[in-house]
Chains A and B, each alone.
Chain A
Amino acid sequence: MIFDIPIQAFLGQLLIGLINGSFYAMLSLGLAIIFGLLRVINFAHGAQYMMGAFAGYLLLATFGIGYWPALILAPLIVGLASAVIERLMLSRLYNLDHLYGLLFTFGLALVIEGTFRYYYGSSGQPYAVPSALAGGYNLGFMFLPKYRGWVVLASLLVCLGTWLLIEKTKLGSYLRAATENPTLVRAFGINVPLLLTFTYGLGAGLAGLAGILAAPVYQVSPLMGSNLIIVVFAVVVVGGMGSILGAVITGYLLGLLEGLTKVFYPEASNIVIFVVMAIVLLIRPAGLMGKEA
């Protein structure tokens, strides 16, 4: 017992917090990458997350393709579809104020979600946990479902892999340089427009990957993204716009904070992240790990 709270309840909420935090981290990572290079606040990120979950669901329902191949295919499908949208539409707005990119992706999210709702309705479709990850472990003080442990592990691997890609590879050095000075990088002979398309596809693909990971945890529904994305935007604001490390760390921390709030003061659990966001905006507008403008 801690403060009259049973330890099981405490650890259970901590685990739920960690799982939510895993999704916040993956989603805010994609948003931060897109914002860093494209300066676009990608409001379609929630829709792309939903598309990832639906891609997994439809691959199974239509072609009988199971979870493990879908884990690769769903992010690829979402990433490629988003890259096409960037090339054909979003890229035409870069010369304008950043507000237009935000409005475009907001509209895009409404169109995508509306289309899925028209065909699949608002109610969720179940997506079974893969058999290899069914069941769980009895840790003595609590029961850990295997799949939830896998989500936390997968999210850590995705965040670490993306960080390595950006910080330690040649491609990552192009991304970092183009974030600082795209014109000069282009003058050096690097195809920056293609790099922007790739980056948008990468960010959206990360959202799609989060979506397929989420499918067995939450249900697959057209609005699953819009419920989540507002929280993720708060995470990005707290972490600092464009800060990749800030997005990831803040994602996990705020997930845990949300879980803890459910234990100690459940009434505030839905708003605690936004309270933190408001405080951070007042005290440190650039975010906890963002560069002061």
Chain B
Amino acid sequence: MTDPTPLLRVRELNAWYGEGHALHGIDLDVHEGETVTLLGRNGVGKTTTLRAIMGIIRKRTGSVSFAGRNMMQVPLHRTAHAGMGFVPEERGIFASLSVDENLHLPPVVAKGGMSVKEIYRLFPNLEERRHSPGTKLSGGEQQMLAIARILRTGARLLLLDEPTEGLAPVIVQRIGEVLVTLKKRGMTILLVEQNFRFASKVADRFYVIDHGRVIDDFDAGQLPDRMGRLHEALGV
């Protein structure tokens, strides 16, 4: 954390679902090239944090700045153009679009994204099934498609919500390899993950969230010392 200006800087982020106050002042930083993981039990506000950062939840206060730019007043359809790419928990693959159309749906927002060729090299299954309807893919393939379509856009920050949820161990491993590849390419990743073992292999830093607040943060190196407290916080 020597870099004084993080790529993503979130301060005092509050968010509401209708009348429900879901986030109570989240503070977090994600530096260029870092993979940061939000840990926490079900329903503590991890997904809400990603959605509020992205601006999908509009009822929010505090500050979100990305690459030095205040994102709070930016309309949702301009957020991606600033370089934030969102992969939702439910994956959001469109049934009425083919795999290829799903892949090409998000507009390219900056140079430096992967070419379709590179993407199909990384995910050979998708190329084989490029003309199938998006939702005819298996859960694992849908998750890979959800990640792949953001890689094409040239986004600098990947907001990745529970990519391993409900997937077989061999697929989880494959997604882990993909994230490591992305890290090597310099992608910045903010990951929400329940699968602690998976997260511990890819993340550089962790935030622990409870009741809509950050209750702890530490580097990957400090992980062994924290295991006791972490088990308590996560209830695992």
Which residues of chain A are near B55, meaning CB under 8 Å?
A: 187
Question: Is B77 in contact with A189, judged by CB distance below 8 angstroms?
Answer: yes
Report how many residues on chain B are interfacial, defined by Cβ distance under 8 Å: 23
With A173-B101, A177-B105: A187-B95 Cβ-Cβ less than 8 Å: no
A186 CB to closest chain B CB, in angstroms?
5
Contact of B94 among A170, A181, A183, A190 (CB under 8 A): A181
Contact of B76 among A170, A173, A176, A186 (CB under 8 A): A186
Chain A positions 151 through 188: 1 when the CB is less than 8 Å from some CB of chain B, otherwise 0:
00000000000000000001001101101110111111
Q: State the CA gap A292–B185 with chains docked (Å).
A: 45
Question: Is A188 in contact with B96, judged by CB distance below 8 angstroms?
Answer: no
Q: Is B126 an interface residue (CB 8 A)?
A: no
Main secondary structure of the interface of B (DSSP, over half): loop
Chain A positions 187 through 202: 1 when the CB is less than 8 Å from some CB of chain B, otherwise 0:
1111111000000000
Question: Is B97 in contact with A177, judged by CB distance below 8 angstroms?
Answer: yes
Shortest Cβ distance from B95 into A: residue: A180
Q: Is B104 an interface residue (CB 8 A)?
A: yes
Q: State the CA gap A191–B80 with chains docked (Å).
A: 11
Q: State the CA gap A189–B83 with chains docked (Å).
A: 10
Shortest Cβ distance from A191 into B: residue: B77
A200 CB to closest chain B CB, in angstroms?
18
Question: Is B54 in contact with A187, judged by CB distance below 8 angstroms?
Answer: yes
B158 CB to closest chain A CB, in angstroms?
13
Question: Is B79 in contact with A189, judged by CB distance below 8 angstroms?
Answer: yes
Interface size class of A (residues with CB under 8 A): 10 to 19
Question: Is B94 in contact with A177, judged by CB distance below 8 angstroms?
Answer: yes
Q: Which of A56-78 contact B (CB under 8 A)?
A: none
Contact of A174 among B81, B88, B105 (CB under 8 A): B105
Which residues of chain A are near B78, meaning CB under 8 Å?
A: 189
Question: Is B81 in contact with A189, judged by CB distance below 8 angstroms?
Answer: yes
Question: Is A187 in contact with B86, judged by CB distance below 8 angstroms?
Answer: yes
Which residues of chain A are near B104, meaning CB under 8 Å?
A: 170, 173
Question: Is B92 in contact with A192, judged by CB distance below 8 angstroms?
Answer: no
Q: Is B112 an interface residue (CB 8 A)?
A: no
Q: Which of B54, B77, B79, B97 has the most CB of A within 10 A?
A: B77
Shortest Cβ distance from A167 into B: residue: B96
Question: Is A177 in contact with B96, judged by CB distance below 8 angstroms?
Answer: yes
Question: Is B56 in contact with A187, judged by CB distance below 8 angstroms?
Answer: yes
Query: B interface vs A, CB < 8 Å?
Result: 54-56, 76-81, 86, 88, 92, 94-97, 101, 104-107, 109, 153
- In the A-B complex, the 8 residue pairs with the smallest Cβ-Cβ separation, listed nearest first, are A189-B80, A188-B106, A176-B96, A184-B92, A173-B101, A186-B77, A177-B94, A186-B76
